[in-house]
Structure 1
Amino acid sequence: MIELTTADLVSITGGRITATADPGATVAGVATDSRECSEGWLFVAKPGEVSDGHHFIDRAFAAGAVLALAEHETLDPDGAVHPAVIVQDAVIAMGQVAAHLVALLRQQGTQVVGITGSAGKTTTKDLLAAILATAGPTVAPIGSYNGEVGVPLTVFGATTDTRYLVIEMGATGIGHITYLTDMVKPDTGVVLCVGTAHAGEFGGVENIARAKGELVEALPVDGTAILNLDDPRVAAMASRTRATVLGFSMDDDGSGAAVSATDIVIGADGCPEFTLTLPGGHSHRIRSGLIGRHHVANLLAAAAAAHALGIDGAVIAGTLQDRGPASRWRMERTERADGVSIINDAYNANPESMRAALRTLAELGLPGADGTARRTWAVIGEMLELGADSIHEHDLIGRLAVRLNIKKLVVVGRGAKAAHNSAVLEGSWGDEAYFVETPDEAEQLLQEQLEPGDIVLFKSSNSSGLRHLGDRVAAHAVPSGPTGTPATGIGGAR
């Protein structure tokens, strides 16, 4: 982090200093979790949905913090006021500090990239950061830090030698992305797709498109908007920006995309291979280490943004070659010793990403070169924040699982039960479709019925908790029978 003094923080936020704070003290890092504080750090005591950061100020100072950014004074165990800068809103103050630091970074030539979309942000961010790191020091979010707290925390990770700052931008309402763009002033903006994630909060898909387009509206005239021309709502954002538009496409439909994928082939391991074409007609054959055809769009977006930032095509292709996921629970594949494959894609879910994951699972279950098919299991939980469309969208997912010939469907939790009901109506019955109330019940079912050769997908929204179930099942193994061969389990022969 670029060091700031207590006096700097007072000036930036308009806050007031407590009597015990040293105006000349410098902070070397920022944390909103007291467990993450280190020597010389600033602890932001923000109120949370579950707990209030002010209750953890003592722990932060014990861990090495030298200052708190707080909304009211607090006392240490001896009754003395904690050294702090007191502000009206700690989260807004974080944004003010981040905006100040970005302004300093810009003076030294740091390029800022913003990435948004209803799905694929984290994967695209990871891919782009890997490419840009070949050209200079690059800072990108940890995991999915993409909101009013996560974006400032990403900025705080930048230093005076940072050449590229990659920002992931999420939103659950109109104006949220504008708040973030006002903070970081991106030079390049990437819009991946407009889906139905958070549709309930936004009040409809058109409002989602309006919100995602706030990113390209914020770009400067000498900036670049990277747009997915395969998504009509994203393609329409070209009229909303003064920046140069660089489109990408994985459909050979004459879209005029300057960055495209052709001759797409999905390998037996589910990883796509394709020919990447960049502006100027330069082409490179790439095999990705990511699982699923849908990741081709994320690869193209990262390639397009890197090209816009001046990275050579051969470097882009070389970096993307065989690169797998960098963040957890994104089509994360684990091969158990007993021959069961686990694909954990349960970091988050919306109807678009759920459909993409199910199609990938179906492709992985197809007969291989030896003519042998694999039994496929889809373990799905609730897709949250869909509002009034929730039952309908879960219904569609259950029907799709049957139509894709997924062999076993396990629906976890009342919020997703419509997917089980529709699967039964569509033609799955008996031991093909299961409904369980909890992840623990699902774990027991899988432990009893999984057989060597099975492939299991876990997919749900983050709060549904299936990512942790996927981790536990990945650590299991089918018990051996008396002859040393794997037991078949309750499900019997496949």
Structure 2
Amino acid sequence: MNSNPTMMPMSLAEIAQAVHGRLVTGETASNGVMATSAFSDSRQVREGSVFVAIAGERVDGHDFVAKVGERGAVAALVDHEVADAGVVQIVVEDTVRALGELARHNLERRRAMDSPFTVIGITGSVGKTTTKDLMASLLSSMGETVAPVGSFNNEIGLPLTALRVNEGTRFLVAEMGANHVGEIANLTSLVPPDIAVVLKVGVAHLGEFGSAERIAQAKSEIVKGLVPGGVTVLNANDGHVAAMSGIAPGEVLWFGLPERQTPDHMVAAENVSCDDLDRPSFDLRDAEGEHAAVKLGICGLHNVMNALAAATVAHRLGMPLDRIAAGLADVRRISPHRMAVSTIAKPEAEFTLIDDSFNANPDSMKAGLDGLIRWHANDGRQPFRIAVLGAMLELGPDERMLHEQVGAYAVQGGVDALIAVGSRDDVALDALAEAMTQGGEQAARARCTVDWAHDIDQADALVSRLATEHAGTVVLLKGSHASGLSALADRWQPLATE
């Protein structure tokens, strides 16, 4: 993996030309100054950096232009000249668009070299970041690999990742997300993939898109954005995804669980099972019928599909099946707040935490709950299972019903306590948490308690009380980022003992 965020070295004049900008201090550009990195966060700027000033909702990067020269920046991309900045400025109409143009130029420079270079693009309603983590881990054993931190998958995060590509980079793993039709098309215009992976068309962002068909249309843009003759990698178990084979410009590879309608020649998982820590095992079979035994190092049955997608790409790029199996077993940590397991030792109680709080939609909620229910389900321990669930966003007019269904699913599945977490400051979030409790109460069993917490402090207190009363407690944290559950996970993390 490439932990050194260095781009292809460029003169300031070259950068100005690539982004169609105007150099405010032209003489500096002719003095041999070279830029070697790019950042939009002024705290990350170092010697040789280009600082990209972006005006956000809360912070305007232009307020920091005057300081970045002191940190070693050689230039700042700005949409208006900042007086007395003390650093060369390249003035453009739109700094976000200029960031994308600079990233595209950086990749064009890399592709122009004689050495091999492959861009893998990943999209889907769920699983993008985990698949990216697994794939990057596998590919890094074959060559220097650049992949985003966390889920940098939008018009800012993706170009910043692409600007970490340099002469030594062999693979770029690019995660591509979208809330609207046309967004992935824009991302592929900046970072066109050689291999496009489509994981799933689910109901995430249904409120923004309006229908599953529109979501499929948006995800299919990654296939249309492939380089000429590029390779398409599709989930054979998802009808919307499988239909994208009709627009593929070249070779199509398949992955999935064997079913009657799936292709014979695909990378598949057979004999899937989970241990009592919800870590999946399966027989990995390639398109030629060769087999290797896999035991994933991360938990979650849903991660079998993510592992298959990563394995398909790695195998296509030349990694033998046995090395793929070993590599998947070696991945024990992925991006934060994704099925991360630890033991939290509070003064009053101790419990096992399954932190999957990064984001949530109905599909991933159910997958997380399934993992909670499987936890030590077969070894006689019978842990006390608490589901701490936050609101799911962008689900459209059916959002209340979908929250009720998740609440009912949790209780019917076998949790011992459901805590739905809302917000004291956001009426809409609090109403969705209320809907989740109502769904849970309607399905309630005698042993199951259902609580509506109005903030993470209340949720924290409820978990502490229940964990004090019940030895062997295991807690799942799951919700959209706005629900604040990742902040609760961060609060508990200093108390983690493993």
2:69 corresponds to 1:61: yes
Query: Is the Cα contact below 8 Å between 2:147 and 2:173 reproduced in 1?
Result: yes
How does 1:260-271 map onto structure 2 within 5 Å?
A: 260-271=268-279
Structure 1 residue aligned with 2:408, among 399, 403, 408?
A: 399
How does 1:80-119 map onto structure 2 within 5 Å?
A: 82-108=87-113, 109-119=116-126
The match for 2:382 is 373
Quick one: distance in 2 between partners of 1:477 and 1:220? 46
Quick one: distance in 2 between partners of 1:144 and 1:185? 18
CA distance change for structure 1 residues 26 and 400 in 2, over 3 Å: closer, same or farther? same
Quick one: distance in 2 between partners of 1:2 and 1:340? 48
The match for 1:203 is 210
2:440 corresponds to 1:423: yes
CA distance change for structure 1 residues 452 and 251 in 2, over 3 Å: closer, same or farther? farther
Quick one: distance in 2 between partners of 1:380 and 1:181? 34
* 1:340 alignment partner, SS class: strand
CA distance change for structure 1 residues 266 and 21 in 2, over 3 Å: closer, same or farther? farther
Quick one: distance in 2 between partners of 1:305 and 1:243? 15
2:391 corresponds to 1:385: no
Query: Is the Cα contact below 8 Å between 1:113 and 1:186 reproduced in 2?
Result: yes
Cα distance, 1:449 vs structure 2: 2.2
Query: Is the Cα contact below 8 Å between 1:394 and 1:419 reproduced in 2?
Result: yes
* 2:197 alignment partner, SS class: strand
The match for 2:198 is 191
Query: Is the Cα contact below 8 Å between 1:73 and 1:81 reproduced in 2?
Result: no
TM-score (normalised: structure 1): 0.92
2:444 corresponds to 1:447: no
Quick one: distance in 2 between partners of 1:475 and 1:14? 47
Quick one: distance in 1 between partners of 2:318 and 2:203? 33
Quick one: distance in 2 between partners of 1:169 and 1:432? 39
Query: Is the Cα contact below 8 Å between 2:74 and 2:87 reproduced in 1?
Result: no
2:231 corresponds to 1:231: no
2:13 corresponds to 1:2: no
CA distance change for structure 1 residues 434 and 440 in 2, over 3 Å: closer, same or farther? same
Query: Is the Cα contact below 8 Å between 2:122 and 2:196 reproduced in 1?
Result: yes
Q: Which amino acid aligns with 1:18?
A: V
Quick one: distance in 2 between partners of 1:429 and 1:268? 25
Quick one: distance in 2 between partners of 1:13 and 1:336? 49
Q: Which amino acid aligns with 1:103?
A: E
Query: Is the Cα contact below 8 Å between 2:359 and 2:481 reproduced in 1?
Result: yes
Cα distance, 1:437 vs structure 2: 0.6
Cα distance, 1:206 vs structure 2: 1.1
Cα distance, 1:400 vs structure 2: 0.2
Quick one: distance in 2 between partners of 1:280 and 1:372? 42
Q: Which amino acid aligns with 1:458?
A: L
2:143 corresponds to 1:136: yes
Quick one: distance in 2 between partners of 1:320 and 1:21? 52
Cα distance, 1:21 vs structure 2: 6.5
Identity of aligned residues (%): 38
Quick one: distance in 1 between partners of 2:72 and 2:34? 13
The match for 2:39 is 31
Query: Is the Cα contact below 8 Å between 1:18 and 1:81 reproduced in 2?
Result: no
How does 1:253-332 map onto structure 2 within 5 Å?
A: 253=260, 255-256=262-263, 257-332=265-340
2:186 corresponds to 1:179: yes
The match for 2:426 is none
Quick one: distance in 2 between partners of 1:430 and 1:302? 41
Structure 1 residue aligned with 2:418, among 409, 414, 436?
A: 409
Quick one: distance in 2 between partners of 1:21 and 1:67? 13
Alignment deviations for residues 321-364 of structure 1 (CA, whole Å, 9 cap, x no partner) = 24223211100000235652100000111111011001111111
* 1:373 alignment partner, SS class: coil
Q: Which amino acid aligns with 1:41?
A: S
Quick one: distance in 1 between partners of 2:60 and 2:198? 34
Quick one: distance in 2 between partners of 1:285 and 1:365? 22
Cα distance, 1:267 vs structure 2: 0.3
Quick one: distance in 1 between partners of 2:290 and 2:229? 24
* 1:91 alignment partner, SS class: helix
CA RMSD of aligned residues (A): 1.8
Structure 2: state its 5+ residue gaps. 1-6, 423-429
CA distance change for structure 1 residues 374 and 403 in 2, over 3 Å: closer, same or farther? same
The match for 2:375 is 364
* 1:457 alignment partner, SS class: strand
Query: Is the Cα contact below 8 Å between 2:68 and 2:87 reproduced in 1?
Result: no
Q: Which amino acid aligns with 2:300?
A: G
* 1:321 alignment partner, SS class: helix
Quick one: distance in 1 between partners of 2:275 and 2:226? 38
Structure 2 residue aligned with 1:461, among 480, 489, 492?
A: 480
* 1:113 alignment partner, SS class: strand
Moved more, 16-25 or 171-180: 16-25
Quick one: distance in 1 between partners of 2:249 and 2:20? 34
Cα distance, 1:218 vs structure 2: 2.1
Structure 2 residue aligned with 1:340, among 351, 360, 367?
A: 351
Query: Is the Cα contact below 8 Å between 1:229 and 1:248 reproduced in 2?
Result: yes
Runs of 4+ in 1 over 6 A off after TM superposition: none
Cα distance, 1:219 vs structure 2: 2.2
Alignment deviations for residues 80-111 of structure 1 (CA, whole Å, 9 cap, x no partner) = 66420000000101111111111111123311
Structure 1: state its 5+ residue gaps. 479-494
Q: Which amino acid aligns with 1:343?
A: I
Quick one: distance in 2 between partners of 1:208 and 1:128? 24
Quick one: distance in 1 between partners of 2:173 and 2:494? 34
Alignment deviations for residues 41-61 of structure 1 (CA, whole Å, 9 cap, x no partner) = 111001112121111212322
Query: Is the Cα contact below 8 Å between 1:137 and 1:162 reproduced in 2?
Result: yes
Cα distance, 1:116 vs structure 2: 0.4
Quick one: distance in 2 between partners of 1:19 and 1:324? 49
Query: Is the Cα contact below 8 Å between 1:367 and 1:374 reproduced in 2?
Result: no
Q: Which amino acid aligns with 1:366?
A: A
Query: Is the Cα contact below 8 Å between 1:2 and 1:28 reproduced in 2?
Result: yes
Quick one: distance in 1 between partners of 2:224 and 2:496? 52
